[in-house]
Amino acid sequence: MGQRWVKIISGLYFFSLCLFNKYDAIYVRELEINPMPRWISILYRIPLYIEINNILSGNLKMRNAKPNYIKSAMIHQAADLRHAQGLIIPAYTACQSLIRSYKLKPEKAHVILNGFDQKIIRPTDRRAAIKRLKLPRDGFNLGYLGTIWQAYDMYGLLEAIKICQPKIPQLRLILIGAGPMLNDLIAEAQKLDLDSCLIVVGYIQPEELHTIMGAIDVGLIYLTRAGIKFGGPITTRFATFAGFRIPVIANDCYMDQYPAQLRQGLVLTRPADPQSLAEAICWLYAHPQERQRRGEILYDFAVNGLTWRAVVKKILAIVKLDQAKGRSKTVPV
């Protein structure tokens, strides 16, 4: 009930803004069941642009949403996507799937990777971060950043750590964030006798990330096959790792369409294959110069094209191009 009132109040505020101000476009993040932006776009004939971070149907199923809710959300999303002037999507897999599923015009869908706030990137102090987290000085630390949920192969990650232990006895996994899988993950780690390897930081303010990131040697974006299909192999947290010059292990599926510089900086491993992930971890452990080199490649890629300012410029360029072509003069329904 509370969420419904939030939507109503936000919609009324949105309505009043458009009533007294002239806007060239409306930009919103993906919607589940909230027709307000679409209705206001139609009413005031303002082009609507929607940012979509993953395929909603797959996301809701992984969250175990009720079937009736999923059906209702899909009906609303279909109406939103068909009405929208443009879609901003950070993954090629999701982009292609949405075009096929909703029979959308390909020219309205634009792939732009998620950006990061450059203001949170501050100098790191490895000794201070290790001391704060009470980690061994000679340890090797993996990092996970974000929501701990079913899109990520967290159990496969634990298996890979178990495989690595003989070669990297002081291996740790730093978890920055929380989520519906956290308690189950801790229980599974205890079963595998890996509970001492998990360092659960929980959620912290973005401005405080630099106090933790200095302890991380390698960042992880290790998804399930379903997670890759619905959200792509590069998630929203990639740019944050890159901003701190941290090398990243990611999955090798659907990477052909991504920029060559990005692929050169990542260490790619097969999904649902803990042995492959373990080999990548051990290889980076044994090659510190390669970790530094790849971290620099990813940093250059991020600061030159994935800061929020750079991403906003790309989005505004799309809006202006639509206006120049005259497609924004009438909103498609």
pLDDT tens track for 150-162: 999 999 999 999 9
List all residues 6 or more positions away from 125 whose beta carbon is below 8 Å from its beta carbon: 214
Q: What is the CA radius of gyration of the chain?
A: 21
Alpha-carbon distances, residue 109 vs 55, 100, 179, 227 (angstroms): 13, 11, 30, 20
pLDDT digits (tens, 9 = 90+) for 166-201: 999 999 999 999 999 999 999 999 999 999 999 999
What the block records as the tokens of 195 is: 């509970």
Query: Do residues 91 and 234 lie in contact, with contact meaning Cβ atoms separated by under 8 Å?
Result: yes
pLDDT at 112 over 80: yes
| The residue to which tokens 């932006």 are assigned | 37
Going from the N-terminus, what domains does the chain have, and what CATH number goes with each?
A: 16-115+308-329 (3.40.50.2000), 118-304 (3.40.50.2000)
pLDDT at 56 over 80: no
Model confidence at 61, pLDDT cuts 50, 70, 90, reads confident
Residue among 137, 135, 136, 140 nearest 283 (CA): 140
